[in-house]
Structure 1
Amino acid sequence: MATTLRTRRLVLATVVAASALLLTGCAPIGNTPTGNFPGFPEGTEPSGDVTGEPHAAWVSEGDKIAITLFGSSTCPYIASTINVVKKADEGNAVSIEVPPLPDQPCTMDLVPHTTEFWTPQDVTTTKPLQITVLDQTIELPIKSYNPGQDTSH
């Protein structure tokens, strides 16, 4: 009987440890981009005139934040990291770092280029999010729920 109880405890401990590892592996971790591409995220093209100012959008049902920056098509601005500046209960703000452009000739066009990040766990989609990027602060409104609309890229 003692051997059976000991075996059950060992099996239970193994299952709990394996479950914890699996859950940790599924959690979005890190502050580096999940992807980048020319243009705007699908379904988030701004209406009206595009001024070249940074744009932000919730994508993948709020699981990700897309930052669209304008610049040369041959030397696009590509964001490199996202950092929480103020947690959700302290102001809900992030900063986006963008490395300097390479020292090379670039075309003189002005086109959008988007970088996507996992939404940091310390911010919320239920409050406006302040985003500082390229010395500008933009406000990403509360994530609205649009059933049937897929804004994932």
Structure 2
Amino acid sequence: MPRTVPRLVSAIAALATVAVLAGCSTAPSRPLEGYAGEPKGVDAPASSAGGASWTAWLEDGTQFAIVLYGSSTCPPKVQNVAATADDTITATLAPAPGGICTHDIVPHTTVFSTPERITKTAEVKVVMPDTTLTLPTRQG
């Protein structure tokens, strides 16, 4: 019987750890929409002139856009996002389409609802596979 108690305590501790870690992220959210071009009504940052990815708040912070640059016939797209901390969103890219793609560089925008746990009272990091973008602190 004495060996059963430590095993039970270990099992409870493991379950508690899983529960805590599960609370650190939300289920991935699918895009609300995606379209060629930059977000409507938003000025692109100067850094985007060279084709650098960027992100912006939309709809008073209830939505945000991720802008990626690539081929107009095979645009890079964000498949989903998830809040992984109070000030961090992790984005997953959609698989690249097969076939022949043009060699032009154009923007493609993907729009998401802002996850509930993102407070917008601090800068929000949007973690991509090869870069981290920043949403500025929302004013007002």
Q: Could you tell me how far apart the structure 2 residues matched to 1:55 and 1:47 are?
A: 8
Residue 55 of structure 1 deviates from its aligned partner by 0.7
State the partner residue of 2:115. Answer: 120
State the partner residue of 2:24. Answer: none
Gap change, CA 1:84 and 1:47, over 3 Å in 2: closer
Q: Read off the aligned partner of 1:95 and give its amino acid letter.
A: T
Q: Which blocks of at least 5 consecutive residues in structure 1 are unaligned?
A: 1-28, 146-153
Q: Read off the aligned partner of 2:43 and give its amino acid letter.
A: E
Query: What's the % identity of the aligned pairs?
Result: 32
State the partner residue of 1:42. Answer: 40
Aligned pairs (5 A) from 1:79-90? 79-86=78-85, 88=86
Q: Could you tell me how far apart the structure 1 residues matched to 2:46 and 2:28 are?
A: 34
Secondary structure (helix, strand or coil) at the match of 2:111 reads strand
Q: Read off the aligned partner of 2:32 and give its amino acid letter.
A: T
Q: Read off the aligned partner of 1:77 and give its amino acid letter.
A: P
Q: Could you tell me how far apart the structure 2 residues matched to 1:99 and 1:58 are?
A: 21
Q: Could you tell me how far apart the structure 1 residues matched to 2:45 and 2:98 are?
A: 33
**TM-score (norm. length: structure 2):** 0.75
Residue 133 of structure 1 deviates from its aligned partner by 1.6
State the partner residue of 1:4. Answer: none
Deviations 1:95-142 (A, max 9, x none): 111122122110000000000000000111121000012320011111
Question: Contact 2:56/2:135 (CA < 8 Å) preserved in 1?
Answer: yes
Q: Matched residue pairs, number?
A: 113
Secondary structure (helix, strand or coil) at the match of 2:31 reads coil
Q: Read off the aligned partner of 2:38 and give its amino acid letter.
A: F
Q: Could you tell me how far apart the structure 2 residues matched to 1:137 and 1:48 are?
A: 17
State the partner residue of 2:53. Answer: 54
Aligned pairs (5 A) from 1:1-150? 31-48=29-46, 50-86=49-85, 88=86, 92-145=87-140
Q: Which blocks of at least 5 consecutive residues in structure 2 are unaligned?
A: 1-26
Q: Could you tell me how far apart the structure 1 residues matched to 2:50 and 2:74 are?
A: 19
Deviations 1:49-102 (A, max 9, x none): 51212110000110001000000000001111111111x2xxx10111112212
